[in-house]
Structure 1
Amino acid sequence: MTWIHHFDEEGARRWLELGTQLYTKQHPIYTFALTGVDGGNYMSLLRTRAISNNMPDMYMIDNLESAQDLIRSGYAMDLSEQPFLAQIDERFLNGVKSADGRIWALPIDVNGAGVIYNKDAFAKAGIDSPPTTWAQFLEACEALENVGIIPIAAGYKDSWTIIWDIAADLLANQYASARNWMADIEAGRTTFAEDRIHFKDILKRYGERLNYVNLKPFETDWNQAQLLLAEGRAAMIINGTWTVDGVKSKNPASNLGLFAFPYTNNPKDAKFGLKSTGGIVVNPHSPHKEAALQTLELFASKEVGAIFQSNKKALSVIKGLPSDFDPTYIELNKTYIQTGQTYDWTRLSTDFVNQDLQKVFVNALTKFVLDRNHNVEASIEELDQAFDRIRKPIQ
């Protein structure tokens, strides 16, 4: 069976390998061809394969919104009646469920958007606890720089990381405004200049913290950025919780923590965004679709869930698994989950579905980084003009 994914982290790949090996042991007539694809090119590759009618037996999606074209074209099996879904915590099925109640993927983990930090680097700089306000965040950056530690690691050679460097700020502001602003922008219901979620302030904060990233971020890839954090040469990465797996794959002894991106000077606003969307999809045209469903049943089991948590270093959506599998997540649970300092970003976007718009967005952010003045107004004007050329605003 063919299975395409976009996992770069060693722990995630190990989970796939061990889980599929377990299935093969139970069903010796099957083997798996696991193919990892760069995250930035992943959806484009799937769409190319769909056009050429060369889709894999199984594949991953990050969210339903970005995969609607694949679902509409019949390349996703309706999983709604599958018994193995009973093994999934009901809270985490919303992210794979369409408006009509149908379920299109087996969710696998709870993803968070925030700051991953090296506790030893913070201690070396005399920082006793993670910042909870924007002013404290900048003060922490100064303290780290003063002791020769790179405050923030950036791996912009992999362009998707630019989006994720602002994702935590972007998502928090969309949630606070109770609107999927990126979907509104894409549909032409609003503009960047209208600033409905304070995108200008998001860019302004981005420009301020760009002063604290490593030299030559566009010559640094994602793996190198994670290595900087793993070795304590850098103190923070602003990205998703999957970063924990990537960093600990490079240095298992890394003393890591997670904290909410503090986008205001009110500590109560520093909430950690958590959600489960997307997961494993079965191609209904696959000649091995029954075996693929059996694979999903196995991957929904506690046995493979435990393999997932111990290798991928992420919170599983499977019922009955412990939350103390890694110190990083013990802290997340104690500081944010148990205190209610989280928000659900299941229905919020970090990317544009239209790939032409997405490229324009990434290019504009790239220019913003390269511009030493980090001119917010120029970026806003450029984005609106480029988006208007590509899509027609709703009248």
Structure 2
Amino acid sequence: MTAHISRRSLLGLAGLGAGTLLLGACGDDGTDTPGDPQTINWWHVQDAEPMLSVWADFAKQYEGSHTNVTIEVQPLEVEAFKTKLDAAVEKKTPPDLFQSWGGGALQQQVEAGLVKDITEDVKEWIGQLLPAAVQPYTVDNRIYGIPFDIGMVGFWYNRDHFAKAGIETPPATWAQLLVAVGKLKSAGIVPIALGGKDKWPGHYYWAYLAMRIGGLEALARAAEDRNFDTPDFVAAGEHFKELVDMQPFQPGFLRAEYGSENGQAATMGNEGAAMELMGQWAPSVQASSSTSQRGLGDRLAFFPFPAVEGGKGAATDAFGGGNGFAVGRDAPASTVEFLRTLLQAKNQRRAAQTGAVLPTNQAATGGIKDLNNQVVAANLGIATGFQLYLDQAYPPAVGQQINNSAAELVAGTKGPAQIVKDITRVAKRQ
């Protein structure tokens, strides 16, 4: 399963203020829900500020106006969450409300009967959300999850480092990016920060290159045919290897995690590298991971992944995704209503004001105050197509193999032609 979306469903993300659309916020009746006591077990991965306390406050507010409801919040680090959820899924005991990125993993949970079909429950207010954001949570035209955040991956860069290296404008083509890497190295600046141990950050490069070289159609066809052993995917690996061979990453990158003290985000936040390829959350994680706890401020800027000369994909096609929540099959009745409150325009505005969330409620986009997030939103607003992260779009086993294969390419243990065979072999088993 792969997810790619046309421009029509993305238009309108940028520049929409709260008054632009005559859409009301989700209801907030402020009354107790009648019935027996209910406990909602809620797992999420916003385990650090600023969203950690925001989610906790939303839960307390809901409990305060629904005295029969208790919300047990379990914030988890991403990898710990995945491990814990896998164990719960294996036992067929999913939590009541849990983090979801949609795509192939959600489809498997649907097929296993582990999540609720909430189509009818949300029909009165789902139209307030961006269609592009809802699409990954839709299986066979039924809705099984709700997104609270959407964004895209691109290059975040340090303006001062670029200026020192004599790079006047961000690279618009892959060839220009390689030239920029060379200039940065010559200036004694680490070009790119990478959390090689986590593997998923490396898959962004291969995925984007596949998009630029083969187009969104190539990714959709691979899902249908379960075949990645094609010239376009091999070429994506060859282009990525060009970059890897230039040794652009920080020392020890193969042992570095994304969010650890000496990881990818911290390297950027502490000015140890000029660029990182990361999603819309990058500035807030850079800041929280940096020694100063402030990050780069206005020295940080963003540019979309460059075009590849001769490629079939459009340079305006975006790659990314968002965050959302799915509802476990045995969740109490109040779970969907609580989820609805999280998507209220006022609550989405508050989340957006933290700089860590790009809201999916169209009436809340006026809450985007962070200049970097405004830039991401503007790029999404002109996107001609959208591709969900490959480790989420495809079945989990395929997504994991893509991450593993990208990591092997980065480490130099396997080449471009071999990794597509490995991915195809796993895809054929699904």
Structure 2 length as normaliser, TM-score? 0.77
Quote how far apart the aligned CAs of 1:112 are. 0.5
1:265 maps to which of 289, 306, 309: 309
| Residue 62 (structure 2) aligns with | 23
Structure 1 gaps of 5+ residues are none
Structure 2 residue identity aligned to 1:282: V
Q: Percent identity?
A: 19
Tell me how far apart the structure 2 counterparts of residues 178 and 149 of structure 1 sit (CA, whole Å). 36
| Residue 106 (structure 1) aligns with | 146
Structure 2 residue identity aligned to 1:220: A
| Residue 252 (structure 1) aligns with | 294
Q: Structure 1 residues 118, 9: closer, same or farther in 2, change over 3 A? A: farther
The answer to whether structure 1 residue 92 and structure 2 residue 133 are counterparts is yes
Structure 2 residue identity aligned to 1:297: R
1:207 maps to which of 220, 238, 241: 241
| Residue 384 (structure 1) aligns with | 421
Tell me how far apart the structure 2 counterparts of residues 352 and 274 of structure 1 sit (CA, whole Å). 11
The answer to whether structure 1 residue 68 and structure 2 residue 107 are counterparts is yes
Q: 3-state DSSP class of the match of 1:35?
A: strand
Tell me how far apart the structure 2 counterparts of residues 324 and 359 of structure 1 sit (CA, whole Å). 33
Tell me how far apart the structure 2 counterparts of residues 337 and 392 of structure 1 sit (CA, whole Å). 33
| Residue 20 (structure 2) aligns with | none
The answer to whether structure 1 residue 343 and structure 2 residue 385 are counterparts is yes
1:209-224 → structure 2 map (5 Å cutoff): 209-210=243-244, 211-223=247-259, 224=263
| Residue 189 (structure 2) aligns with | 149
Structure 2 gaps of 5+ residues are 1-39
The answer to whether structure 1 residue 317 and structure 2 residue 360 are counterparts is yes
Deviates more, 1:272-281 or 1:13-22: 272-281
Q: Structure 1 residues 38, 155: closer, same or farther in 2, change over 3 A? A: same
Q: 3-state DSSP class of the match of 2:335?
A: helix
1:2-81 → structure 2 map (5 Å cutoff): 2-7=41-46, 10-40=49-79, 42-43=81-82, 45-81=84-120
Quote how far apart the aligned CAs of 1:357 are. 4.3
1:143-194 CA distance string (max 9 Å, x none): 222333211101112232232343332344454445425524xx54x341x3
- Count residues in correspondence: 377
Given that residues 14 and 311 in structure 1 are in contact (C-alpha distance below 8 angstroms), is that contact kept between their aligned partners in structure 2? no
Given that residues 167 and 239 in structure 1 are in contact (C-alpha distance below 8 angstroms), is that contact kept between their aligned partners in structure 2? no
Quote how far apart the aligned CAs of 1:225 are. 0.9
Q: Structure 1 residues 171, 85: closer, same or farther in 2, change over 3 A? A: same
| Residue 159 (structure 2) aligns with | 119
Tell me how far apart the structure 2 counterparts of residues 307 and 149 of structure 1 sit (CA, whole Å). 37
Q: Structure 1 residues 393, 324: closer, same or farther in 2, change over 3 A? A: closer
Quote how far apart the aligned CAs of 1:281 are. 1.2
Given that residues 152 and 380 in structure 2 are in contact (C-alpha distance below 8 angstroms), is that contact kept between their aligned partners in structure 1? no
Given that residues 288 and 295 in structure 2 are in contact (C-alpha distance below 8 angstroms), is that contact kept between their aligned partners in structure 1? no
Quote how far apart the aligned CAs of 1:214 are. 0.9
Quote how far apart the aligned CAs of 1:218 are. 1.8
Quote how far apart the aligned CAs of 1:271 are. 2.1
2:340 maps to which of 288, 291, 297: 297
Q: Structure 1 residues 237, 272: closer, same or farther in 2, change over 3 A? A: farther
Q: Structure 1 residues 88, 116: closer, same or farther in 2, change over 3 A? A: same
The answer to whether structure 1 residue 369 and structure 2 residue 410 are counterparts is yes
Quote how far apart the aligned CAs of 1:376 are. 2.8
1:35-65 CA distance string (max 9 Å, x none): 3444346445324212323321101211232
Structure 1 length as normaliser, TM-score? 0.83
Cα RMSD between the aligned structures? 3.1
Structure 2 residue identity aligned to 1:252: R
Q: 3-state DSSP class of the match of 1:320?
A: helix
Tell me how far apart the structure 1 counterparts of residues 349 and 342 of structure 2 sit (CA, whole Å). 10
Quote how far apart the aligned CAs of 1:351 are. 4.9
| Residue 325 (structure 2) aligns with | 280
Quote how far apart the aligned CAs of 1:217 are. 1.1
Q: 3-state DSSP class of the match of 2:184?
A: helix
Tell me how far apart the structure 1 counterparts of residues 59 and 273 of structure 2 sit (CA, whole Å). 35
